[in-house]
Amino acid sequence: MKLKERELIKKMEGVEVERPLKLHFIPYLAPGHMIPLGDIAALFASRAQQVTIITTPSNTHFFTNKSPSFADPLFLRLHTVDFPSKQVGLPDGVESLSSTTDIATSAKIYYGAMLLHGPIQDFMEKDPPDCIITDCIYPWVYDLGHKLKIPTIAFTGFSIFTVSLMESLRINPSWKSHTDLDSFVVPNFPHSITLCTKPPKSFTGFMEMVHETTLKTNGLIVNNFAELDGEECIEHYEKTTGHKAWHLGPASLIRKTIQEKAERGHESVVGVQECLRWLDLKRVNSVLYICFGSNCYFSDKQLYEIACGIEASGHEFVWVVPEKKGKEDESEEEKGKWLPKGFEDRNIQKKKGLIIRGWAPQVMILGHTAVGVFMTHCGWNSTIEAVSAGIPMITWPVHGEQFYNEKLITDVRGIGIEVGATEWCVDGIEERKKVVNKDSIEKAVRKLMDGGDEAEDIRRRAREFGDKARGAVQEGGSSHNNLLALIDDIRRLRDSKPLDSFNDSLS
């Protein structure tokens, strides 16, 4: 039955009908952006709002693996715009950061994403929404919304803790006088945070541009829940910026069944049932899960140290190693040339360890009772997925905002420990000069996996935040209430408010 038919029946029955909002979502072309914003779009659709996700042809699979349990096709649709492959010098089909492992191609994808302005504007003019919800990386969406008199809300892939921390660094630049190797305390921040090194200039410069664009919009959607960021950081952000933040996450918790969790993102290179059978044979909390995201590539030397460290720890493990693009046809022997001699015989063949080369069903793995600890690069999606599952973390930040996320995990919330990584790179592809040695890796794994009072305290706090995460998205929870309030505010704006008063409406 079509929406108009349902409305007509309700009117005939004397039921007041609330016209759904018409919302257009514009995710950035990277898995870490498309996956959570796609789930948030599904959240709005689950509340009977008419949602359109705008993406490019090769990225539709990130949004089409949907289950009727949370994405009624009546309310959620896709609109594709062609990616300007020829203009940026890329082959057809290379339209996402998951398609590359080199910096030059990543830059071309970024420039291509910026060129989507034209075709998206054409679509918006023909089919204007009530509100545009856009990834904060796109600097042109605010101007587009302003031109068409359509309010815009930004989406950030960071926590408000991290956004607030970056804002403190931006408005208090005294830290820049330190050398790159000096540690320093973040000035004028709600928590005492000491950073081991300065962030790269190119990263801070880019994020300042993103921040300026974000503050022009009419609010900020965050894939987190208020209890993890803390009211002190939310208040700090809103007080220092005058901007409203809406916590609607964790987005991954919209996935309820094993199948829904397994379908999130790319298709897994390991069969879901095969992975489950392996984990089902293991004791509760006995498995170390290791994954550094879809866009972080370690040298063979670093992979060797990881292998030695986890084997020396004596614990069972699932280790995800991203497949290097262009080398998918390598033999198994070539792919494992960095492994210590006999490693596969001692671990993989004897079912003590499982190596997944490529994309893995991470949400499903983290939700399994066998997994006891997550060694992570501290990308925000991985971080919030681990928190949602109540899993403590071994933190190994590499690039971007990951060193900030690490501090929230370890220093503020006490749900993880640091492995000792100190080299802050521009991106996950960049060649790293420092190697975290096997002894540091073994020590960190044993500290959390071997038990003891400190480990049990960390594990208890992780479980508590897992409970809070699940409570936040349930009826009456903080994120659930934020979603309803945001829908109501956008609806009131649509029905009675001019664009210029949108910020006042959200405040």
Known catalytic residues are 33, 135
Task: Give the span between the Cα atoms of 197 and 421, in whole angstroms.
Answer: 11
* End-to-end Cα, the chain, rounded Å: 38
* Look-up of token digits 């609330």: 18
DSSP state of 506: H
∠ CA 262-267-272, nearest 5°, is 45
Helix, strand, coil tally for the chain in percent (to 5): 50, 15, 40
With CA atoms as reference, report the closest residue to 1 among 88, 89, 74, 84: 74
Q: How many CB atoms lie within 10 A of CB 202?
A: 10
Say if strands 22-26 and 184-185 run parallel, antiparallel, or are unpaired.
unpaired
DSSP state of 30: S
Which residues have C-beta within 8 Å of that of residue 24, sequence separation ≥ 6? 52, 54, 124, 127, 129, 131, 132, 133
Task: Give the span between the Cα atoms of 228 and 506, in whole angstroms.
Answer: 22
DSSP state of 344: I
Contact 260, 393 (CB under 8 A): no
Consecutive H or E run containing 80: strand 76-80
* DSSP-derived secondary structure for 382-405: HHHHHHHHT--EEE---BTTHHHH
Which residues have C-beta within 8 Å of that of residue 289, sequence separation ≥ 6? 317, 318, 365, 366, 371, 373, 374, 375, 391
Provide the token pair at 309.
Answer: 């460290």
DSSP state of 410: I
The 393-395 sheet, strands edge to edge: 353-357, 316-321, 287-291, 371-376, 393-395, 416-418
Provide the token pair at 125.
Answer: 């003019």
Task: Give the span between the Cα atoms of 425 and 199, in whole angstroms.
Answer: 8
Provide the token pair at 221.
Answer: 């959607």
Say if strands 220-222 and 245-247 run parallel, antiparallel, or are unpaired.
parallel
